[in-house]
Amino acid sequence: MQVMIDGNAVEVEPGTTLLEAIRGSGGEVASLCYDERMDPFGACRVCMVGVEGAPGPLPSCTTLCREGMEISTTDETALRVAGAVVELVLSELPEAPGEHTELAAVAKQLNVTKTRWTGAVHEKDEDLRHPYLAFRHELCISCGRCVRACDEVQGAFALTVTGRGFSSNVAAGVDSGFAESSCVSCGACADTCPTDAIVELRLLELAIERNGSGE
Ligand code: SF4
Ligand code: FES
């Protein structure tokens, strides 16, 4: 089938998402809860695009292409929504994300340099009980990528999302920590985490040695 992306005709297979079509044709759209190694989840609303005839922007990672669809990656409303989501996420973190993180890259991509909101901020809450992985809960943005990596990539089912809204976070086991959970130390969670909330302990220690902080 054929879709139009920013005015250019693109051939796609049935079942292709808008995000796959855009990136597959060399275009770009920001995303945060998406990881191509896993099924799309549609949790963050950062990958918004405009679609001709739709009542508002649509999440490109979970929306499938339809014949003749006209997609805009520069739709002003879509970019405004995506930027506002990232601003809100940043406003809840106790510190700016490390420059090397995916969250920092997405903020840059959407030109989000500061946040207008000064609401509640997550308090420091580190779990350092695992021999190889550090979990800094205060940096978790509840994107769910680690949970899906654990389930879909590794099949270990060690992680779950807990709470809702601002209180939402990720727990290992029955909140007994990684060390007591069914974690097999594969590191898939740390590999996909866009904020370094879960990070290999060795890398965190190296960063602290180098900079005096985990950034
Ligand atoms: S720990 Fe990282 S990957 Fe897991 S939900 Fe939080 S931010 Fe997302
Ligand atoms: S990347 Fe599409 S909703 Fe999060």
Domain residue ranges of the chain, discontinuous segments joined by +: 1-121, 126-211
Of 122, 139, 133, residue with least CA distance to 159: 133
Q: What are the tens digits of pLDDT across the range 111-166?
A: 998 878 777 899 998 888 888 889 899 999 999 999 999 999 888 888 888 888 88
Is residue 174 very low, low, confident or very high in pLDDT (cuts 50, 70, 90)?
A: low
On the CB side of 211, CA atoms within 13 Å amount to 7
Domains 1-121 and 126-211 agree in fold: no
User: Does the pLDDT at position 203 exceed 80?
Assistant: no
The share of the chain scoring above pLDDT 70, in percent, equals: 93
Nearest CA to ligand 1 atom 4: 146
Of 85, 186, 201, residue with least CA distance to 143: 85
Under CATH, to which class is 1-121 assigned?
A: alpha beta
Q: What are the tens digits of pLDDT across the range 49-89?
A: 999 999 999 999 999 999 999 999 999 999 999 999 999 99
Nearest CA to ligand 1 atom 2: 193
The mean pLDDT of 41-48, rounded to a whole number, is: 95
User: Does the pLDDT at position 173 exceed 80?
Assistant: no
CATH code, residues 126-211: 3.30.70.20
pLDDT at 175: 64
The share of the chain scoring above pLDDT 90, in percent, equals: 67
pLDDT at 181: 78
User: Does the pLDDT at position 24 exceed 90?
Assistant: yes
From the CB of residue 4, how many other CB atoms can be counted at a distance below 10 Å? 14
pLDDT at 212: 60
Ligand 2 lined by 42 (C-beta under 6 Å) = yes
DSSP states along the chain = -EEEETTEEEE--TT-BHHHHHHHTT-----SS--TTS-----S--SEEEETT-SS-EETTTPBP-TT-EEETT-HHHHHHHHHHHHHHHHTSSSPPPTTSHHHHHHHHTT--S-S-----PPP-EE--SSSEEEEGGG-----HHHHIIIIII----EEEESSGGG-EEEETTTT-GGGSS-----HHHHH-SSSSEEEHHHHHHHHHHHSS--
Choosing from 141, 160, 162 the residue with most ligand 1 atoms within 8 A of its CB, the one to mutate for a pocket test is 141
Name residues contacting ligand 1 (CB within 6 A).
140-146, 170, 192-195, 197-198
Higher-pLDDT residue of 135, 176: 135
Of 68, 74, 85, 99, residue with least CA distance to 32: 85
Beta bridge partners of 49: 58
From the CB of residue 67, how many other CB atoms can be counted at a distance below 10 Å? 9
Is residue 214 very low, low, confident or very high in pLDDT (cuts 50, 70, 90)?
A: low
